Structure 1
Amino acid sequence: MSISTRTGTVALGLILAAIAATAGMANSGTASSGVECGIVRTSQGGMQQLQATILSPKAVSGEYRLTIQSASNGGSSNISQSGEFVARANEQTTLASVTVTAGARSTVTFELTANGKKYDCSQDLVRQL
């Protein structure tokens, strides 16, 4: 293998490694850090509760922001909650909870920064943590 081919191969490897590293920077709630976060939905009596939740193997602290745009036949609402949080290790922590009409069309954005790392937690959690 010539030097120019070897250099090209090394450069390609470095580029692929950089792409892989940056792909996880704005992760979706589960990362190598072990942090799990997302929205837990429960329905009861014609209402739906949305809980912004985090679980981490280590104690974490930071800030969160939850916004919900909800629309139904009865009208619409825009809800925004944010603040600082501290979550203990291995303990499910609800950072915010909102109740909307069941069946409403809701757009949820839940983002947090924990120990300096940003997470997009807008996805629904399939299982309760």
Structure 2
Amino acid sequence: MNIPSSGAVALGLVIAAIAATGGMANSGSTSTVQCGIAKTTQNGMLALEGTLTSPVAVSGEYRFAIQSSSNGGSSNISQGGYFTANANEVMPLGKVMLNNGSSYDVVFDVTVDGKKIECDQNVTSLR
């Protein structure tokens, strides 16, 4: 089979890109994970949602725990479990609705490749 030189170069670039992508998926994936808590208002309620995104596919575990209090009382909510996130997609990991004006404390963390990542910062969007 006779491949023109421009075709051979293109084929070489494709093979190099595939090899580079494969290496990235297996090394340092936790350093590329971005996560945080998105706050929005929905129907007069405060919505808190844990979100995660990564340039490579990742899987792991998450914990999303909220302690809240208001004039109507207090609550402790704990969510968590296993997740798998596709590359470059925002993955919601837990969501709660609270009375607007409630005081609250949130703990949100994920574990990827055996490494725990604290995700307690507020984010507008990870997109």
**Fold equivalence (TM over 0.5):** yes
Letter in structure 2 aligned against 1:105: S
Shifted more, 48-57 versus 115-124: the winner is 115-124
Rg comparison, structure with higher value? 2
Shift of 1:85: 0.4
Selected match of 1:40 from 35, 38, 41: 38
Residue aligning to 1:128:
125
Letter in structure 2 aligned against 1:59: A
Shift of 1:42: 0.5
CA gap of 1:42–1:59, structure 2 versus 1, over 3 A, is same
Could you list the structure 1 runs, at least 4 aligned residues long, displaced by more than 6 angstroms after superposition. Answer: none
Pairwise CA RMSD: 1.5
Residue aligning to 1:100:
98
**What secondary structure, in the 3-state scheme, does the structure 2 residue paired with 1:33 have?**
helix
Unaligned runs of 5+ in 2: 1-28
Selected match of 2:82 from 81, 84, 93: 84
Q: TM-score, normalised by structure 2?
A: 0.73
Q: TM-score, normalised by structure 1?
A: 0.72
Query: Are residues 1:55 and 2:42 paired?
Result: no
Identity fraction in percent: 52
Shift of 1:32: 7.5
Aligned residues: 98
